[in-house]
Chain A
């Protein structure tokens, strides 16, 4: 208990709480803006953490991720413009409610469901991550190679519509991670004589380029559509239309519980992402209610609750593989690795041994962030409702400026901005040609660990028959092969159905 007191002190220090509050507010604000999501918000905010303590830095970024995930419901409900794809079901069920004058009710239920989903998932993270990490400590390089290969295949297959494109994106990410001094010989590799890349390409400019700058290029191209959708909605004068009634809670309780379970499960599995969680939860509720298309025609408060609880449960749950094994299961987790690295900390099973106090502090900060989310969202609802109507011509240039600032600080000056632009262009084409930028980033992040474990494996296993001594590695290898086959078949069926449905 005594050793726990300093952790509580540092987590509840006014400075730390202020950064969490700032993070949640900033995240909510960015998430509420149409077209901006949690990836953009977190990537752009990383430079702000350079000079913070590790706990404040991580807590601030987690606050941004949580705030922006919940905030994206605001533009989804009010403008029918989801801040990110995972809020699409919220828009489907919530926008008709807003048009019927029940915007405030939908926003409030979205917020409550978000906070419940987020809190539930955070508790699961606290309970599960350390147990998994203790198991992961016994994993050797051969097993790790199998796990990483399986994770890449899994992520590649599930984060886009095409397994082939997903695998290409992942391999490209690993290939880009090879740039720099080679780990065993120390000789330059794929550097083209540039000393700046001897330490490898800096993660933050790459992430900002792939996530934020590329998104700005697309949004600026679609500015007219965003502007057109910012039409004014009329509020209702009836009190019941502005609050969440007991009847609403009764209708939504089951949807929220299911959303929490689905979102947490989806978050723990690397690569599935928040969109899968929110769509699954929304679909399950739509089916269970028996209302069918009525959900999208008249709107459904339980639909908003289902989508938002699952969407927000994904974020903390996606930290389970990050904290326990060091594998980033989502784009937020990949960005968070950059923040950990800046602070000199390596995520993985040793985190619980070497940085136990930090992890405990992060857990407490995550719970505090959930509570701040409730306060900020509830009392700031009217303010955020106005902010969503700010012209994209004002928002986008600010984001571009912040992107450059971030890339400059973490990428070694103007060189970092150059790296960001190159990966902004790559990200632009990746998004437009449907190559998963999430898989690329995760490949880029796990590339060095994959190479190291692959080298160790090739050193340890000189004969194929020796693999029989590593059943875990064999199992994951087999799962990877099975995953490629199964996901390819599923995607082919989906594609054929889509072609058949084409007019």
Chain B
């Protein structure tokens, strides 16, 4: 899919240049007496990524010019699914920190279940309950550690 390759190439090119121009100079020290600068490996990787991103971009541009079908890398349903999972986990982290681990776990399980169309009440209640009790038993009783 040349269109998605083109987008990926440009994003990676910007990423590589940002690493080389901004992130590595500000986020690595000179190294003092070190024989080799701490920035060496990040620089090698960033130069490599930038160079390869240029190649990827040129390759994708060439294929688009030759009329190869552009294609869609991520269908809308998958964008929404990704967003839903990120939101559910993000909200669960917030609940975990400010409310309680159990409430966070309920949201984490029930949220995706409802999003995926599960409406049978005994399952919506039963599965989170079984998982939370199971996790509690495994970690607090069997393995002897704690959560939260």
Contact = CB atoms under 8 A, between A and B. Distances in A.
A489 to B, nearest CB: 14
Contact of B78 (A188, A417, A432): A432
B93 interface: yes
Interface residues of B, number: 73
A178 interface: yes
Interface in B6-57: 7-8, 12, 19, 23-24, 27-29, 31-32, 34-36, 38-39, 41-42, 45-46, 48-49, 52-53, 55-56
A187 B29 contact: yes
A425 B86 contact: yes
B68 interface: yes
Given A165-B56, A189-B28, A400-B88, A221 B78 contact: yes
Interface string B53-90: 10110010001001011000111011111101110111
Nearest to B96: A414
B89 A168 contact: no
A185 interface: yes
A217 B81 contact: yes
A200 interface: no
Given A175-B46, A417-B89, A432-B73, A191 B96 contact: no
A421 B82 contact: no
Interface in A360-419: 391-394, 396-398, 400-401, 404-405, 408-409, 414, 417-418
Contacts of A394: 113, 118, 123, 127
A414 B144 CA distance: 20
Given A221-B78, A405-B135, A168 B53 contact: yes
A26 B14 CA distance: 43
A191 B75 CA distance: 34
Nearest to B76: A221
B29 A397 contact: no
B25 to A, nearest CB: 11
Interface residues of A, number: 66
A222 B35 contact: no
Nearest to B53: A168
Give the top 3 A-B pairs by smallest Cβ distance, nearest first: A221-B78, A221-B81, A393-B116
B125 interface: no
A310 to B, nearest CB: 29
Contacts, number: 185
B127 to A, nearest CB: 6
A221 B116 contact: no
Interface in A149-195: 162, 164-165, 167-168, 171-172, 174-175, 178, 182, 184-185, 187-192
Given A220-B84, A398-B131, A433-B8, A185 B78 contact: no
Contacts of B81: 217-218, 220-221, 223
Given A393-B118, A394-B127, A398-B131, 17 more contacts: A48-B143, A51-B144, A165-B8, A168-B48, A171-B52, A175-B42, A178-B41, A184-B31, A188-B27, A192-B27, A213-B89, A391-B118, A394-B118, A397-B127, A400-B108, A433-B4, A455-B36
Nearest to B80: A221
A450 B41 CA distance: 9
A222 B78 contact: yes
B93 A414 contact: yes
A185 B73 contact: no
B23 A190 contact: yes
B116 A223 contact: yes
Interface string B84-126: 1110111011001100000001001111110111100001000
B85 A424 contact: yes
